[in-house]
Every structure is written in C-alpha cells, then in structure tokens.
Amino acid sequence: MPKKLSISLAVVVLLAVIGAFAIYLWDQNYENEIADGVTIGGVDVGGLSADEAATQLRASLVTPLDKDVVVRYGDEKYKLDSKDLNVHTDIDEMVAEAVQVSEDDGILARTWRRVTGGEVDYAIQPQLDYSQSSVNEFIKGVSENIDQEPQDASVEPTGETLEPVAAQPGIKVEENKLERQVESALESPVDRKVKAKVEKVKPEVTTGDLAAKYPTYIVVDRSNFQLRLYKDLKLEKTYTVAIGAVGYDTPTGLYSIQDKQVDPVWNVPDSDWAGDLAGTTVPPGPDNPLKARWMGIYDGAGIHGTSDVASLGSAASHGCVRMDVPDVIDLYDRVDVGTPIYIS
C-alpha cells in the first residue's frame, strides 16, 4: 500500500475514533436526562434530569393527587377524601421509565435528535395504588343518596271523589360509569370533579295503566251515607246506605272485598249487643238480618242487604254497611273479590 494512502487511512480512522469519543463524552453529559417530548401524567419532563423530574412530579402530580375527588349531582356534592384512599404512586419507577425510553434509540440516534432538536413522543400514565374497597363504598354511598324509587301511578280516594295520581319515574346512578369517572379523576392532577350520571327508572304502573289496574273501585262516604261504585275510574252508580252507629263505627281506611256470599249465614259476634244470639250461627231466613248478599270487608264488618230500609241514610248498624236488597244484589254482581273499598 502506498505510504500516502496508509497515512490518509490512519488519519480517517483517528478522526473517527476522536469523533466517536467526542460523541460518547457529549452523550455522557446527558446521562439520566429525559428526552424532549416525554410526559408523565400530563406533566412535561422533557429536558429534565431524573432528580429534577422527580421534584417536578411531586409538585405537579403527587401534591394535586392529595386533593379530594368531588362528585356532583344537581346542587349536591359528595367528597371522596384521598386520605381515606391512601393514594400513592411510585415516582422513581415512572422517572426510570422516562429515562429508559429516552435512551432506547441508541447513542447515534440520541445525538442526532439533540443536534436537530427532535423529540420523543411518549406519554407515561401514572400507576396509582389506592383502596378499591373505599372507592366502592363511596360509590355505594353516592347511589344511596341519589337513587329514587319510581312511584307507580295510583288513585287517591276521598269521600266524594276518586282522583288519579300520576306516576313518577325514578332515578338510579349508573354505578359502573361513575366508578370509571372517579378512578379517572383519581389519576388526574387537574380534573378532580365528576358529574354523576343517572338513568331514569320507569314505574311498573303508569297513569295509562290505572284504569286496567282498578277496573272496579268502591268508595263509602260515611258523612253522606253513600256508596259510590267506580268502573275504570269513572263514577258508575251511587247507592244510599246505612253505616255503623256511634260506638259501633264502620271501620275507616282502605280495604278490599274479602269474600262474597249469596243468602249468607250470620255468624253472630260474641258481643254484648247480640244478646242471647252472641256466638251462634243464624241461617238464611226471616231471623237473619244479613239479607240477600254479603261482601266481607274487615274483621266481621261487611256490606249486606237489610229489610230495615228506614235505617238507610243514617248511622244505625253495628259496623256493617247496609243496603236496600235490590241495591245489594245489583252491587254484588258488579264487583269481584279483591275489589278495593275505601271508607272515609
């Protein structure tokens, strides 16, 4: 090999060695420095050393993570105390990952990136440790405060009317979605507020269902001595009746027809007012005051026909509702066992 060529090659090799050594030394100056473009939990740590990044993360990430998470619903606020959760994250591990990703390209690629001002597009999500059971208890508590059972449509009887009461939908917290929202807020150093999502719960009985649910309804108006029969929530017929005398009051409240009998047997109550008949059984016939039909209501009280038509329109019975015989037969054929009866 010519001497001049040998010298030239030697010079090239020497320069290459010097250049490589220079690049090595320069790269060593950036040891443990995080590349531009790397973020941890949304915090830009590019250009920082490992120690600087750790300090920055404690200020920008860890400290905010100590703040309460607030769930809102309407005007109500529910706070999840981070201290109860024992929230913590491994800063050193996240910084080590940032340093590692900054060095993964190799020395030449790192050098070129630094010379040209290039970046590493890499986002590290913080790995938080916290008490999942505390989150679950919090979600449960929020739900218990917000959830509302649906209200079925119903009727509100008075002595003179039968008023429909509209159904009301309920609300229920979407717990799975709320859990995800809360966990996301726990991991965010910025957005620590959550708006609870709810779903509407339909009632089983809607207003449109009322007529079908109450095809027949009886209202006894004691003050006016009237029995009103409703069909599909509309007044169909009004009957004059007698009710319990003072001291033998017809029981008030909401009941239902418990049983029905044609030409009923009278099981005489074991009461002083029954005299010698107390505790006995009287078959159908002229001595039986329960004429034609019987519709039991409550504790021995019921609706029956009477031969004492002069007592109708007054308080005269021993607790039962008396009707004229043609009327009680007519009513008997219009109602079933289970028909609600409201006595005012």
Q: Is 224 in the same domain as 313?
A: yes
d(CA 299, CA 251): 9
Of 159, 188, 208, the domain-final residue? 208
Which tens digit of pLDDT belongs to each residue from 130-144? 888 888 999 999 999
Cα separation of 275 and 289, whole Å? 14
Residue 265 and residue 228 share a domain: yes
pLDDT tens, position by position, 293-322 = 999 999 889 999 999 999 999 999 989 999
Residues 164 and 219 in one domain: no
Helix and strand counts by DSSP (H, E) for the chain: 10, 24
> Does residue 344 surpass a pLDDT of 60?
yes
| Domain termination residue (choose one: 189, 208, 227) | 208
Cα distance between residue 87 and residue 207, in whole Å: 49
Residue 236 and residue 182 share a domain: no
Say what the pTM is: 0.61
Are 263 and 333 part of one and the same domain? yes
| Extended strands (E) in 138-290 | 154-157, 162-165, 170-173, 193-195, 198-201, 216-221, 226-231, 234-244, 253-256, 259-262, 266-267, 281-282
Last residue of a domain, one of 193, 208, 223: 208
Tell me, yes or no, whether 310 lies in a domain: yes
Domain extent for 148 = 133-208
- Report the pLDDT value the prediction gives residue 151, as an integer from 0 to 100: 95
Q: Is the pLDDT score of 82 beyond 60?
A: yes
On whether residue 173 sits in a domain, the answer given is yes
Judge whether residue 230 has pLDDT over 90. Answer: yes
By the 8 A CB rule, do 34 and 48 touch? yes
Domain-embedded: residue 128 = no
143 within some domain: yes
